[in-house]
Amino acid sequence: MFRLRLLCLLALLGVALGIRVAPAGAAEPVDPWPGLVQDIFNNRPMNDGSNVIAIEMPYRAEDAAIVPVTLRSKLAPDDARRLKTITLVIDQNPAPMAAKFELGSDAKVSEISTRVRVNSYTNVHAVAELSDGKLYMVKTFVKASGGCSAPAAKNAEEARNHLGQMKYRQFARAEQGPTNGVREAQIMVGHPNNSGLQMDQITHLYVPAFFIDELHLWQDNSPILSMEGGISISEDPNIRFTYVSNGAKTFRAEAKDTSGHVFEKQWNVDQSGS
């Protein structure tokens, strides 16, 4: 958490001082990935993750402020290893570490989808840590521009009225059926997730950074997943995921933001899987 907040603060400081990652008009921007491996992953070795994890994003984003991204496990059913964490890194964003997902040891999360801001043409990396202690990396390239500074969809008053409101949705998985325990669900949190790079259209001042930096999900008291978030997660964070039910009767969520607010809610689980 400290590392993520430090990266965000350094990014915002750089904007305030007019610091640029590369000179305007430079023929080839500096590749930040080697430095990010050092800063985010302490220079740990990166292994080819093509048989471990997949990352799906549009090559050209329709809206740079809400770019869909899906992270999917490719581990074979008989693979003894399990996914422990997945870190999403948007290389050219002001704060490149978009999110780190920690997966519950018994939830068998196999897919996570969310929406992110993309600030410029960039590589996007997904780094999975497995139970063998190794890191596995894949990447894709996205063409988008200005996502981190795009104006908020809601005005300030509307955003305040929706602050912390949570919605939970459970989906049927007809192709697999409910009997195997696989569930697909979605959690949505009302929050402006201000990046600190957006300008108030009336005052022409930058809106301070204000975002969800922790999200925890449980089935009964068993962890499903946790997210350590940053300024790259889009307004009104939206996480869709698959997991294996343990027969729990409740689904519980807790979110915290950078101003210290804590939002909690619990729902009953539809045991039919629909």
| pLDDT, tens digit (0-9, with 9 covering 90-100), for 5-16 | 555 555 554 444
What is the average per-residue pLDDT within 104-127?
97
Q: 241 pLDDT exceeds 70?
A: yes
Give the pLDDT score at 15: 44
Domains and CATH numbers, the chain: 30-268 (2.60.40.2470)
112 closest CA partner among 85, 140, 80:
85
Confidence of residue 1 (pLDDT cuts 50, 70, 90): low
Q: Per residue in 116-137, pLDDT tens? A: 999 999 999 999 999 999 999 9
Q: 180 pLDDT exceeds 50?
A: yes
Report the C-alpha gap between 7 and 2 in whole angstroms.
9
Which range among 7-11, 81-85, 219-223, 260-264 shows the weakest confidence by mean pLDDT?
7-11
Give the pLDDT score at 225: 98
What is the average per-residue pLDDT within 208-213?
97
Give the pLDDT score at 204: 85
What is the average per-residue pLDDT within 69-91?
97
H-assigned helices in the chain: 2-16, 33-41, 156-162
Report the C-alpha gap between 131 and 45 in whole angstroms.
15
Give the pLDDT score at 159: 86
Stated as kind and residue range, the H or E segment containing 263 is: strand 262-268
Confidence of residue 21 (pLDDT cuts 50, 70, 90): very low
Report the C-alpha gap between 31 and 21 in whole angstroms.
10
Amino acid at 45: P
**Which residues lie across from 210 on neighbouring strands?**
194
How many other β-carbons are positioned within 10 Å of the β-carbon of residue 134?
15
Give the pLDDT score at 12: 52
Confidence of residue 153 (pLDDT cuts 50, 70, 90): confident
Give the pLDDT score at 117: 98
